[in-house]
Structure 1
């Protein structure tokens, strides 16, 4: 089954996003910090079809997770953030 990696330190948000993912036929893989996200991607890399990635996470922030994943894969990544500064938007690109 196709998996979606949901990386966010807010359990309520991950629960809501996981529910929507299941309704769309995707199996959610939840990571509550950046280190868990990197580990989960390494474990399920062949099955992950998309990543929802929070910018502000403990251990390793979302920008660094994105940089590391891009060295290995071109899987689509959607950045999730409450930050609204232009710098943050550009970094997410």
Structure 2
């Protein structure tokens, strides 16, 4: 069975690009459009191996979602990879402090994304 990856991004085109890339890489992909939706999808799919999340999203951003997941006793804590246009050191530090496992900037190279996900899946 393929490893499940949860993509959380408010941009449909990014979700489609990531989905296409990871599906080609042999992963099963679930999509969510913001942090609130991401948490709901994680509750429904407790076997998610890695979460890939944007930072800037409506309703609940990526860093808030990472914090909510990592401080919850009711949710699994898969590694979370931030995929964002943000590259500022203080934002990277804030995401790491919240519990993010890694960082890839957009636009991403498909092979870099697949390699990072494979590393996180183990």
Q: TM-score, normalised by structure 2?
A: 0.71
Matched, 1:4 2:5: yes
Q: Which of 91, 97, 101 is matched with 1:88 structurally?
A: 91
Render the CA deviation track for 1:28-76: whole Å, top value 9, x for unaligned: 100011110010011101x201110100011111001001111243311
Task: Let me know the Cα RMSD of the aligned residues.
Answer: 1.2
Structure 2: gaps of 5 or more residues: 97-122
Matched, 1:65 2:35: no
Which runs of at least 4 in structure 1 moved beyond 2 Å after TM superposition?
71-74
Aligned residues: 92
Structure 1: gaps of 5 or more residues: none
Q: TM-score, normalised by structure 1?
A: 0.91
Between 1 and 2, higher relative CO (CA 8 Å, sep ≥ 6) is seen in 1
